[in-house]
Structure 1
Amino acid sequence: MSRTSYLFTSESVSEGHPDKVCDRISDEIVDAFFRIGPEQGWDPAHLRVACETLATTNRVVIAGETRGPATITRDLVAHTARLAIKDIGYQQSGFHWENAAVDVHLHAQSVDIAVGVDSTGNKDEGAGDQGIMFGYACSETPELMPAPIFYAHRILKRLSEARRSGETGALGPDAKSQVTVRYENGQPVEVTQIVLSTQHLDENLSSHDVRSIVEPYIREALPEGWISPSTIWHVNPTGKFVIGGPDGDAGLTGRKIIVDTYGGAAPHGGGAFSGKDPTKVDRSAAYAARYLAKNVVAAGLAGRCTIQLSYAIGVSQPLSIYVDLHGTGQVEEARLEKLLADVMDLSPRGIREHLSLNRPIYARTSAYGHFGRPAEADGGFSWERTDLADALRKAL
């Protein structure tokens, strides 16, 4: 029997966190291929990117496998990385967008992988790798996301907006948040603990000083009434956070996969998203699973929904579809599993076409979560649409 009253905690990290700097650079490179490739006559379906980034004190290393136009040179990739670092806001002595060394080690995609993924003759495009992917949705927030991760993201997004707009000049790009939510009868009702560690530019600021700066934004980000006199605050608990970003700690693409998804409230298959084109089902099938789970909840078929998809490299159709409605369902899970395969083609090609993934929409996903964001007019966050809800209801 599931618990209905408990505490649950999720964390988020800002765009200036070392790992998120790397995610941003990797996704900017994916976007560059989808932006420049079609301009050079490439079919977007033929572009391939698997890009990893490492960042440390005044050094960035970019490595991976690609397929695309020759105009995407090492110099262009390095320039793209510098522009990403500049936009994030790093121009400190230990990590400066203009002065950091950028090493690029991208090479052609393995032909052994390409032969399994590419379509040939009667063979459809196959998955770019084996693996399992999960999608999740719940009715805790209007965005159908778990409350702890949604509000942990929201705090940092609001602080980033304040920093970028000039509302406050005291904060640096690097920050982490953590929110502990109390659930009562299965619903989130209050925040019991708040953790916020943020880089600050004046080394003389105390933790108390930083709290006075950030507290109004945190209160603005959380639902009214969720912060009470008993809420415990931990703001810059080490007392000082001046050295931030890759100068303070090395970063690497793909190390914040729980931050990127559901904050630990749902399973994760283990594959990272950033730096991968959508032939990699680690990314595209996780988006599809979220899309389906969100539409199930939006259709009123369940209050919570977890979906698992599994794939084999070179094979077009998923090996399995699993649905768990956590005892909240209005329909049998086995029936829903069959229906989902009917309402959406879950082959890699089908996912990319249904969600319009072959376009430069990925850099914006690299911070503040891949899920729970509004679907955008240019196709960004298309997996957040709820346009299948009516079809699901009618089919049942």
Structure 2
Amino acid sequence: MIYRSKIYSVESVTSGHPDKICDQISDAILDECLKQDPFSRVAVETFGSHGLLVIGGEITSNAKVDFEKIARQVYRDIGHKDELKVVVNVAAQSPDIALGVDTGGAGDQGIMYGYADDETVEFLPKGLLLVHALTKGLERLRKNGEIFWLKPDGKAQVTMDGDKIKTVLVSCQHDEEVSHSEISRALV
């Protein structure tokens, strides 16, 4: 007999989490390119670590974009202080790739994973809905000033055992002087 576990974990991050920051910067660059030139082709990636932000990739567009300015604006809008070293290395797309895209469609491969589930009315797994609710709650508490010591970076993880919650983990960036017990009182 084969035993198949129904235990799974899901994670969600807040807008100030490094991965989400990088996604938002890349998205804002794409948005600006498309605003100026609807036929833009944008393959831009962003990497961030400890005050360093690297924006790189290839673009085919008539748009004139200030990558660093966009990155700094997104960073400030999230709630971080603008203490970044920004490195930009964005080049024009190779004419050979551009020609291939013109004649054959997208020139890159991608793998996506996901599924609909009748477990909830939203057709998403219960654990995913719960973990997103936790990070949305962290965002709301921070943005509304309800918990003054919360900072932009945070994430949550929910582990499910079938339809039962097995574990819940919440991680939040906060002021240094806040104690663990104060965090627990505010968030539990």
TM-score after normalising by structure 2: 0.90
Please list, as runs of the form range in 1=range in 2, the aligned pairs for 1:343-354 lying within 5 A after superposition. Answer: none
Whether 1:49 and 2:23 are equivalent positions in the alignment is no
Corresponding residue for residue 300 of structure 1: none
Corresponding residue for residue 156 of structure 2: 177
Q: Aligned equivalents of 2:55 and 2:131: distance in 1?
A: 29
Give the letter aligned to residue 181 of structure 2: H
Residue 15 (structure 1) shift: 1.5
Structure-to-structure mapping, 1:334-345, within 5 angstroms:
none
**Does residue 71 in structure 1 map to residue 64 in structure 2?**
yes
Q: 1:140 aligns with which of 96, 119, 143?
A: 119
2:180 to 207, 212, 215: 207
Aligned-pair identity (%): 41
Provide the C-alpha distance between the structure 2 equivalents of 1:31 and 1:2, rounded to a whole number of angstroms: 49
CA shift at 1:192, angstroms?
Answer: 2.3
Distance 1:53 1:131, change over 3 A: closer
- Normalised to the residue count of structure 1, the TM-score between the two structures is 0.45
How far apart in 2 are the matches of 1:127 and 1:70? 20
1:200 aligned partner, one-letter code: H
Match of 2:22 in 1: 22
Which residue does the alignment assign to 1:381? Answer: none
Name the structure 2 match of 1:129.
108
Q: CA–CA distance in 2 between the matches of 1:82 and 1:2?
A: 53
Q: 1:161 to 1:50 in 2, by over 3 A?
A: same
Residues 1:116 and 2:100 are matched in the alignment: yes
Q: Tell me, which stretches of 5 or more residues in structure 1 are unaligned?
A: 38-43, 92-96, 120-124, 216-396
Q: Provide the residue aligned with 1:279 in structure 2.
A: none
Could you tell me how far 1:30 is from its partner in structure 2? 0.9
Which whole-Å CA distance do the structure 2 matches of 1:168 and 1:109 have between them?
46
- Structure number having the greater strand percentage: 2
Q: How many residues align?
A: 188
2:91 pairs with 1:107: yes
SS at match of 1:177: strand
1:158 aligns with one of 126, 134, 137: 137
Deviation at 1:12, TM superposition (A): 1.7
SS at 1:118's partner residue?
helix
Max Rg structure: 1
Superposed CA RMSD: 2.1
